[in-house]
Structure 1
Amino acid sequence: MSSPSTPPAADAARPPTRGRPPRLDQARTVEAALVLLDESGLDALTMRRLADAVGVQAGALYRHFATKQDLLTAMAERMLAGCSTPPPDPDWSGRLTALARRMRTALLAHRDGARVYAGTHSTGANTLGFAETLVGVLRGAGFGPEEAARTAMTVVHFTVGHTLEEQAALQPGDQGPADPEQLREAVAAAGYPHLTAALPVLAGTDFTAQFEFGLGLLLQGLRTVHRPGAGPAV
């Protein structure tokens, strides 16, 4: 009696066999890329290493991803899975805050996540769904289409930029993670009185507190300049 045939998923995970290239699955390839990202970081993620991980020749990847940037866009799209569900908070500013927090959490879930996301322009369901929810929260609060779009981009840019700095500061490298003591010594040697007074925060690593403070400033500004129906804020 012949043994049962091997499922397609097992074929995809097996190294290539002579005369029969393995079936390449785009979604599983993206997941493999995220695993490699978490293991070694963005700089070490190459198409060749990814091809080895999924058991194909490097050229086979280009059937799904014409360039590495296409791969990064697909990875960024995958990172935002589950972020677009409308938050339950009844207040628009609370919903906006929840969405920004979700995005930061999604990027922090992967090593160099913010670097991967920055500069990508996915038109996938996760990215567009998140944007739709974000803009919808603002329009529901009375923001016009242009004002809502610009506000949404500002929230995203703040979140990505903050997370870029956060991950860079905490990421071990040749010199190790960022050293607050080096900043303290430089400020003390130069005798900057204002920086000396601010050092507990400047040399701190409570990135969540800093994120919440910046997000709070952004929302405070929005509440100050936004009057529903009054047109774009200046």
Structure 2
Amino acid sequence: MDTPEPRRRGRAPMTSAELIARAVIKVGFQDLTMAKVANSLGMKHSSLYRHVASREELISMAVDLMILESPAVTPAQDWRGHLEQLTDAVWEQFERFPGLASEVAALPEPPAGLLWVFASSAEILVSFGFSAERAMMVTDLLCDMTVSSYLNATQPVRAKADRAAEIKAKYRSLREVRPDVQLPGSEQKSEQIEAALADAFASQGKQWWRQKRDFILDTLAVEVRRAAGLQFRPSSPPIMN
């Protein structure tokens, strides 16, 4: 009678953080669940909890890997080019990975990779003469605006004309019920304000985001150029007629 070979002892191979992160990216960020990631890895749902504590940790691991593997870009020639390059890259990642923007916005703590991006951006801006505090503030402001603008741009909405008409109606109703907030002579400008309001909130797309970014960068350029004694030429539409 043959004697069966003794069962080999030892721990099962560990599932690496990289494999888990790649599984998250493969599954996608829309309706992401621990169960879907576990299934992609060929393991039980409960087994995945041995490696990650929460769904938020899955998101952070995936974001870290995506940033680590992001392609190198040619350094910008000035601070404005750098900030445009950075925010363009953020928007493109959101377009490439549906659901990523809302997941990043909902994270209770920033992933390590995101902190690295902010720190790297600040270092570049400091090399262009910014203080460390101002460099971090500008990076944070523009990235926050990019996230919120992308989320607004991708919300399911009705046709632009229908949405604009609704916004105009709400504005007119407010003027009727709150006459106390109207300034003398404001009636002459009400149609212009109404049109601008409808255009802003009914056209929350990529072009509107770029216009807002240009305005922020133009405002920042005023300070930068004033310090350097240079004349400023805006990229965004003029504030005053």
Rounded Cα–Cα distance in structure 2 between residues aligned with 1:146 and 1:187: 38
Report if aligned partners of 2:122, 2:136 keep a CA contact under 8 Å in 1.
yes
- Kindly state the Cα deviation for residue 149 of structure 1 after the two structures are TM-superposed: 1.5
- Kindly state the Cα deviation for residue 161 of structure 1 after the two structures are TM-superposed: 1.6
Q: Tell me the equivalent position of 1:216.
A: 214
Identify if the C-alpha distance between structure 1 residues 200 and 157 changes in structure 2 by more than 3 Å, giving closer, same or farther.
closer
Q: Which amino acid aligns with 1:25?
A: S
- Kindly state the Cα deviation for residue 132 of structure 1 after the two structures are TM-superposed: 3.1
Q: Which residues in structure 2 correspond to 1:77-116 (within 5 Å)?
A: 77-83=64-70, 85=72, 87-116=74-103
Report if aligned partners of 2:164, 2:201 keep a CA contact under 8 Å in 1.
no
Tell me the SS of whatever aligns to 2:28: helix
Q: Which has the higher contact order (CA 8 A, sep 6+)?
A: 1
Q: Tell me the equivalent position of 2:163.
A: 183
1:138 aligns to 2:117 (yes or no): no
Q: Which residues in structure 2 correspond to 1:9-24 (within 5 Å)?
A: 23-24=14-15
Rounded Cα–Cα distance in structure 2 between residues aligned with 1:115 and 1:157: 12
Q: Tell me the equivalent position of 2:145.
A: 158
RMSD over aligned Cα, in angstroms?
2.9
Which consecutive residues of structure 2, in runs of 5 or more, have no partner in the other structure? 1-10, 173-190, 229-241
Rounded Cα–Cα distance in structure 2 between residues aligned with 1:223 and 1:197: 25
Q: Tell me the equivalent position of 1:121.
A: 110
Identify if the C-alpha distance between structure 1 residues 184 and 82 changes in structure 2 by more than 3 Å, giving closer, same or farther.
same
- Kindly state the Cα deviation for residue 106 of structure 1 after the two structures are TM-superposed: 1.3
- Normalising to structure 2: TM-score of the pair? 0.69
Rounded Cα–Cα distance in structure 2 between residues aligned with 1:136 and 1:80: 17
Q: How many equivalent pairs are there?
A: 196
Identify if the C-alpha distance between structure 1 residues 130 and 151 changes in structure 2 by more than 3 Å, giving closer, same or farther.
same
Identity %: 21
Q: Choose which of 19, 32, 51 in structure 1 pairs with 2:23.
A: 32
- Kindly state the Cα deviation for residue 216 of structure 1 after the two structures are TM-superposed: 0.7
Q: Which amino acid aligns with 1:105?
A: E
Identify if the C-alpha distance between structure 1 residues 189 and 71 changes in structure 2 by more than 3 Å, giving closer, same or farther.
same
Larger-gyration structure (1/2): 2
Report if aligned partners of 2:118, 2:136 keep a CA contact under 8 Å in 1.
no
Q: Choose which of 125, 134, 142 in structure 2 pairs with 1:147.
A: 134
- Normalising to structure 1: TM-score of the pair? 0.71
Identify if the C-alpha distance between structure 1 residues 132 and 228 changes in structure 2 by more than 3 Å, giving closer, same or farther.
farther
Q: Tell me the equivalent position of 1:17.
A: none
Q: Tell me the equivalent position of 1:74.
A: 61
